[in-house]
Every structure is written in structure tokens, then in C-alpha cells.
């Protein structure tokens, strides 16, 4: 079977190997489509944390079952499934208290272990969710939206609150829409006007603000000086992350969703005066995946996926997806061979 491996930063190779052999309590899957995530882009660029080369990337997977044993989920051969790509140990403290998204021994497909940029993969049955009612495009975006759903749940946001989301990439857009579904008033911030326009026109976000010297004044005006009850960073950009508490109200919450590979600095008296609650949001749990699947019909999948190519063509297109000026929001790669 064919697969694509990231040999080192900036270099993909298309190779062939024997198909995987399914182990006990695993399912052998055919990969139909892979969504390209910020993690994949960072790994290719050489600035992804927790990463070693060579690696098969890909953890936003639309797939169907080729082989599976008896299971209590009722999944059978031929079924479409969502893959929750986080393999947890089940015995560490985080797993015991139900936070297997931040398991001490966590293995993420496409990051710590080889992922889904291959025609077939074998994974534990317990990370699969039935999805026969969804299209491959919908299945491929469940995981990034689940990241947003987890951040929303971590924030404790309630209807009527104002939320600022910094970063209009795929994760940020998901957080915006999910916050809106939860009844929040949403302000989107980004430096890219094209993505701000997408957030306004396709997602229906209440307010868009171009990040820069005037952003703080604009957010203050929108909120009548109260600022935002919750601020989410989905940029992973150091300067943006360090400025986020400025958009937050006194008594507010700041949720770090984006990951910066380095140190962040905050002026303690300023954040202390606001009694800021600082939350990190990592990955997602099965509850987040289930929530996304239940509300996916409210998300504009067709406009969200802006680029789509076959795996044979991917290597020639990947560099362009690093540039937001290309208009990319979510790119996907088709792996299913035509019959």
C-alpha cells in the first residue's frame, strides 16, 4: 500500500509498504480522507513540539472499516467511523479522573506515532465512533471541531457572555461557531482580513476586529468597556498570546488553545488585578467528539474545506498551504482509490 512520510522538515516522500495486520481489539481501517491540521503544517515546517522524524502525519481521518472483531459499539465491516486519534494509557492519574486527553503517556496519531497519511491503518476499537450518517468531508473535520468543543467546555461559557477568539484558523473558526451555538456573543480577531471576512460572512460571527494597534479600543467599544468574559487564543503566536488578557474583563477567563514552542510572559499585577483564570485546553475527549457529531449539521462544512487534492498530488501542494494568503482554511487529501 502507498503512504506519505515526512522524512525531515520540508521533505515528504511517497512510498510503499505492506498493509498493517490488525491486532486483537483493533480495527483495520481504509483511509478515505485526511484533513490537514496546524500540527501537520508545523511538523513539516520543523517547529512542532513533541515531534520526531521521520513520521507519517495525519490525525483528522475519515475512514471505513475493513476488518473488526466483536465489539460493544456495534461497529461492523463497511461502517464509516470517526477516529479519536489520542491513545491513552488508562491507568495514570489523568485517565483515572476522566481527563485522558492529557494522559501522562499519551500517544497522538500523526505526532507521537505514525498517523493516517496511508491507505490503511489499524487502531484500537475504543477510539472509534460510528458515523455512517456523515459524509467523508464531515468526518474529516470532526477532530478539529472537537478541539474547539473541548475549549468551550473548559471555559464554562454560558449564554449571553461575550467571547473573544484570537486566530481565525480552522481551530479558531470552530471555537467561534461552537461558542455561538452555546449562545455567546463572539468577537473574532486576526491580522488576515480574508479570514476575518470568512468568519463574518460564512460563520456569522457578530464582530470582527483586525489585530493591531487599534484592536483593544475596538473590543472596548464593542463591549461598552466591559471587555470579554472569555478570551480564547487559537493563534499559537507569542505576541498574540501575551496580549490576550488585555481583551479580558475583570473576573474573566483566558483559555490557551494554541501551542507556542517557548516561554510566555505576563505582567503579574495586571492579570492579578483581574483575578484572571488561566486555562489550558489540550486535545479533546470522547464527550467532545460526540457533541460535535450531534451539531455538525449547523457547521458550514462546504465553505470550510477550501482545498482538496489526491494523495498523489499532495506533496506538490503542501507548501502553498503554509501561506494563509493562498486562501486556505482547511485542506483535505483523498486517499481512497477509485473502484
Q: Which residues contact 43 (CB under 8 A, 6 or more apart)?
A: 6, 9, 51, 55, 57, 111
Interatomic CA distance for residues 26 and 199, integer angstroms: 39
CB distance 300 to 203 below 8 Å: yes
For residue 337, pLDDT beyond 70: no
201-238 confidence digits (pLDDT tens): 999 998 999 999 999 999 999 999 999 999 999 999 99
For residue 49, pLDDT beyond 80: no
Q: What are phi and psi of 178, to 5 degrees?
A: -70, -35
Q: What is the mean pLDDT of residues 70-97?
A: 97
pTM over 0.85: yes
* End-to-end CA, the chain: 15
114-131 confidence digits (pLDDT tens): 999 999 999 999 999 999
> Which residue(s) pair with 2 in the sheet?
16
Catalogue all structural domains in the chain, each as residue range(s) with its CATH number.
2-141+299-334 (3.90.180.10), 151-280 (3.40.50.720)
Place of cell 479558531: 172
For residue 339, pLDDT beyond 50: no
Cβ neighbours of 274 (radius 10 Å): 17
Amino acid at each position: 500500500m502507498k503512504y506519505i512520510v515526512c522524512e525531515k522538515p520540508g521533505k515528504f516522500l511517497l512510498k510503499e509498504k505492506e498493509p498493517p495486520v490488525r491486532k486483537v481489539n483493533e480495527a483495520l481501517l481504509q483511509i478515505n480522507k485526511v484533513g490537514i491540521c496546524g500540527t501537520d503544517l508545523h511538523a513539516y515546517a520543523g517547529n512542532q513540539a513533541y515531534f520526531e522524524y521521520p513520521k507519517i502525519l495525519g490525525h483528522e481521518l475519515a475512514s471505513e472499516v475493513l476488518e473488526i472483531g466483536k465489539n460493544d459499539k456495534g461497529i461492523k465491516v463497511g461502517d464509516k467511523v470517526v477516529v479519536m486519534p489520542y491513545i491513552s494509557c488508562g491507568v495514570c492519574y489523568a485517565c483515572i479522573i476522566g481527563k485522558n486527553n492529557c494522559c501522562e503517556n499519551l500517544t497522538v496519531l500523526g505526532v507521537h506515532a505514525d498517523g493516517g497519511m496511508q491507505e490503511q491503518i489499524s487502531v484500537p476499537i475504543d477510539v472509534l465512533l460510528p458515523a455512517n450518517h456523515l459524509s467523508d468531508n464531515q468526518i474529516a473535520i470532526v477532530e478539529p471541531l472537537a478541539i474547539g468543543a473541548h475549549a468551550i467546555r473548559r471555559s464554562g461559557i454560558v449564554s449571553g457572555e461575550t467571547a473573544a477568539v484570537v486566530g481565525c484558523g480552522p481551530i479558531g473558526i470552530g471555537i467561534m461557531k461552537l461558542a455561538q451555538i452555546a449562545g455567546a456573543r463572539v468577537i473574532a480577531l486576526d491580522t488576515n482580513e480574508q479570514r476575518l471576512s470568512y468568519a463574518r460572512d460564512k460563520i456569522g460571527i457578530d464582530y470582527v476586529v483586525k489585530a493591531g494597534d487599534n484592536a483593544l479600543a475596538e473590543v472596548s467599544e464593542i463591549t461598552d468597556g466591559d471587555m470579554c468574559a472569555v478570551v480564547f487564543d487559537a493563534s499559537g503566536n507569542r505576541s498574540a498570546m501575551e496580549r490576550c488578557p488585555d481583551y479580558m474583563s475583570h473576573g474573566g477567563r483566558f483559555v490557551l488553545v494554541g501551542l507556542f514552542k517557548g516561554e510566555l510572559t505576563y505582567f503579574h499585577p495586571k492579570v492579578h488585578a483581574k483575578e484572571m483564570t488561566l486555562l489550558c485546553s489540550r486535545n479533546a475527549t470522547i464527550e467532545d467528539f460526540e457533541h460535535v457529531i450531534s451539531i455538525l449539521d449547523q457547521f458550514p462544512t462546504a465553505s470550510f474545506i477550501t482545498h482538496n487534492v489526491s494523495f498523489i498530488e499532495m506533496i506538490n501542494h503542501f507548501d502553498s498551504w503554509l501561506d494563509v494568503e493562498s486562501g486556505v482554511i482547511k485542506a483535505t487529501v483523498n486517499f481512497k482509490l477509485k473502484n
